[in-house]
Amino acid sequence: MKEINLEQKEFWNEKKGKIWVSLGPRIDDMFGPLGDEALRVLAPKKGENVLDVGCGTATTSFKLAGLLGEKGSVTGMDISKPILECAKQKAKENSIKNIEFVLADAQNHYFMADSYDAIFSRFGLMFFDDPVAAFSNLLKGLKSRGRLTFVCWADRSANDWIEVSTNIATKFLELPPKAAPRDPGPFAFEDPLYLNEVLSNAGCNKILIENYSATNVVGKNTKEAAEFLSRMGPMSLPFEDSEVSVQRKVIDSLEKCFADYVTIRGVEMKFSTWMVTAYKA
């Protein structure tokens, strides 16, 4: 089968995958409320079979498993072997039986027809080289009139958690250039018109794209927030590979900046997403 999405596979199977695993609980604290809203929109029913794409360390997969009950099932899919190994271990430790994991790329994985009642994703669908081909392939596994529900990032400038942090980091680190609009990456679908076009061309109908914005805690204090966000987003690998003295400068500068975001709950920053629902024709 033709190799695709090579950069993303290398990225998530090497150092980034290990970083993601190490930050798993913190990532869930930050992204959890957004994933929970997407699950509310999905409204999974007892007994359904659901595919969780880009499942990561499987926090959303485990929630789905509980909501679907013993007669339902979840398939967690991801391209990162170290991340999926963590997910499998967690499932084993928690004796979750109605779940399986697949190491695969959703863009060209062979899906059995009519396998799933619904497809779900929390920030796992923005990284395809060819998103129309990827969504078309996903629909092959969806039952007739089955639904697709996912959350993805909206306008980058409305996401303080990454925009503010990245602007600080560029003073000390050589970061990869920002992806061009529509290129694979976290903000590939920040333009809702483009996202609607992709889904429509892939064969979806009844497409609904709604903004969901929230203010979430990224750390109990500025130090915790700085140490966490320095290892997230485009700065994570450059930060990891830099000298200790440079890392200290990044952390110190982030702490000073984050002082403006301190509330009684901790350091709170803005998050802006698209909650997306579509159906197979």
In this prediction, residue 251 carries a pLDDT of 96
Structural domain includes residue 172: no
In this prediction, residue 3 carries a pLDDT of 64
Structural domain includes residue 120: yes
Structural domain includes residue 168: no
| Closest by CA position to 227, among listed 23, 13, 82 | 23
Global pTM exceeds 0.85: yes
User: Tokens 């959703």 sit at which residue?
Assistant: 106
In this prediction, residue 233 carries a pLDDT of 83
Structural domain includes residue 83: yes
The burial class, CB within 10 Å (0-12 / 13-18 / 19+), for 193 is exposed
- Coil, helix or strand at residue 61: helix
In this prediction, residue 127 carries a pLDDT of 93
In this prediction, residue 13 carries a pLDDT of 83
Structural domain of 99? 6-156+181-215+272-280
Which CATH number characterizes residue 51's domain?
3.40.50.150
Answer yes or no: are the C-beta atoms of 117 and 146 closer than 8 Å.
yes
User: Tokens 């994985």 sit at which residue?
Assistant: 109
Structural domain includes residue 237: no
In this prediction, residue 7 carries a pLDDT of 78
Structural domain includes residue 252: no
Residues 6+ apart with CB under 8 A from 211: 154, 272, 273, 274, 275
Please list the ranges in the chain whose pLDDT falls under 50. 1
Task: Give pLDDT tens digits for 227-280.
Answer: 999 998 888 889 999 999 999 999 999 999 999 999 999 999 999 999 999 999
Answer yes or no: are the C-beta atoms of 144 and 116 closer than 8 Å.
no
In this prediction, residue 6 carries a pLDDT of 78
In this prediction, residue 2 carries a pLDDT of 53
Give the whole-angstrom CA distance, residue 30 versus residue 26.
6
Type of residue found at 217: V
Structural domain includes residue 98: yes
Structural domain includes residue 261: no
Q: How many domains does the chain have?
A: 1
